[in-house]
Amino acid sequence: MSSTEIDLHQQLKKYFGFSQFKGLQEQVIKSIVNKHNTFVIMPTGGGKSLCYQLPALIEEGTAIVVSPLIALMKNQVDAIRGISSEYGIAHVLNSSLNKSEIKQVKEDITNGVTKLLYVAPESLTKEENVEFLRGVKISFMAVDEAHCISEWGHDFRPEYRNLRHIIKRIGDNIPIIGLTATATPKVQEDILKNLGITDAKTFKASFNRPNLYYEIRPKTKNVDADIIRFVKQNDGKSGIIYCLSRKRVEELAQALQVNGIKAVPYHAGLDAKTRIKHQDMFIMEDIDVVVATIAFGMGIDKPDVRFVIHHDIPKSLESYYQETGRAGRDGGEGHCLAYYAYKDIEKLEKFMSGKPVAEQEIGHALLQEVVGYAETSMSRRKFLLHYFGEHFDEKTGEGASMDDNVQNPKKKHEAKDEVVLLLKTVKETKQ
Ligand code: ADP
Ligand code: MG
């Protein structure tokens, strides 16, 4: 073991109390400490924050962390203060601060007290902030949730597009670290290009979740009854059921309740108090099932969710991966069941029809991948991982047997029908 390795382990223990690095963390940190531009792709929960927090705490100067959400920043800053307030401070610079708070933050940066400065992209664009940051020592710049830079990502934010330009103005030789949980090659390419770091050392963790079982069922009129049956067969287990519309969420939650299942609805149309109550009931296991729109799930870390059901197919495979990924966080069983009808794809296409053409084209391409996944007769895990640019060996790969297509291979003639169907749908949507 080299001296730097021993050193990093000590630092990890000292600042965070962990005795082991998770996955690729150590290699990433070495790359950052060695001043390389660095690109980190790890699934949610992979431990991306520590990749920049630890080097920020050891290095001279202040690390700037760009993050899209004020709530996320607050969480991280509180967490960092909780573990290592005696060593250095994390600060936020965004629109939630008043004038005197901003002054205090700037003083702490100038005095070298602030090791981590979290900024929203719109704050970073402000001329007075750029001017200020030009004059202080910056260790590196981390761009968290870097997929926000890409129109192909699930959360495009135009402000992210200016980052490269602003970083250059703050300092020419500042190493840039991009981090994301979105693994599609297109988004990755966009990130590297837009951040101007095509030379970055790239670290990509596997996106395979071997304990998740993937299943697609045709969506018929009996979908509600089918879901109720499934939930009853999984009595007492925690699960999430995603629906596209609020109305559907309410209806299905009621249908479950009527059938003696402990379920609550969750969507953005409910008031904040009810939403928090329902979320807590789920975490505390007063109820078993949350029927929800995609408003539910961000930041919810319930390790023993045993099933995720999609009543409606999601609009991209990224969304599908994120949402199904909430099952089996503890490594235990996680059944991911989605109901699919081509009609639902058409519905999603229709939703987009008011949007700008470029957006529609992207949305359409993403939907076609969903169609491919839902209609395929090959290993779903292989399809999904291929979409994320990852090779998966369907014979020997971890979790290879964990999907409906592998468990019940379709007969040849059925598979042929499917090809015809696929061609037909592609033709139809091209019109
Ligand atoms: P991501 O941003 O990749 O979704 P986070 O940075 O939020 O993931 O980390 C997920 C969880 O993993 C956090 O609870 C964090 O404390 C934990 N974690 C990170 N690194 C380690 C480690 N080396 N050992 C143990 N737990 C870790
Ligand atoms: Mg993160």
Q: Mind giving me the DSSP string for 117-180? A: EEE-HHHHHSHHHHHHHHTS-EEEEEETTGGGG-TTSSS--GGGGGHHHHHHHH-TT--EEEEE
**371 with 340: CB under 8 angstroms?**
no
Q: What is the pLDDT of residues 295-320, one digit of tens each?
A: 998 777 799 999 999 999 999 999 99
Indicate if the pLDDT at residue 4 is higher than 60: no
The pTM of this model reads: 0.84
**241 with 82: CB under 8 angstroms?**
no
> Mean pLDDT over residues 119-131, rounded?
91
User: For residue 144, which ligand has an atom nearest its CA?
Assistant: 2
ipTM here: 0.99
For residue 46, which atom of ligand 1 is closest to its CA? 3
Q: Calculate how far, in angstroms, residue 231's C-alpha sits from the geometric centre of ligand 2.
A: 31
Percent of the chain at pLDDT > 70 equals 90
Give the chain's radius of gyration (CA, Å): 23
CB-based contacts of 408: which residues, under 8 Å, 6+ apart? none
User: For residue 51, which ligand has an atom nearest its CA?
Assistant: 1
Q: Calculate how far, in angstroms, residue 132's C-alpha sits from the geometric centre of ligand 1.
A: 32
H/E element, 289? strand 289-292
Our measurement of the distance from residue 99's CA atom to the centroid of its chain's CA atoms, rounded to an integer in Å, reads 33
Ligand 1 within 6 A of 146 CB?
no
Q: What is the pLDDT of residues 349-365, one digit of tens each?
A: 999 998 999 999 999 99
pLDDT of amino acid 83: 57
For residue 25, which atom of ligand 1 is closest to its CA? 23
Indicate if the pLDDT at residue 425 is higher than 60: no
Q: Calculate how far, in angstroms, residue 114's C-alpha sits from the geometric centre of ligand 2.
A: 20
What number of H helices and E strands is found in the chain?
18, 13
Q: Strand 138-143 to strand 89-93: parallel, antiparallel, or no bridges (unpaired)?
A: unpaired
Measured on CA atoms in the order 122, 126, 131, 132, is the torsion positive or negative? negative
Q: Return d(Cα 226, Cα 232) in angstroms, integer.
A: 10
Ligand 1 within 6 A of 80 CB?
no
DSSP-based three-state secondary structure for 374:
helix
Ligand 1 within 6 A of 44 CB?
yes
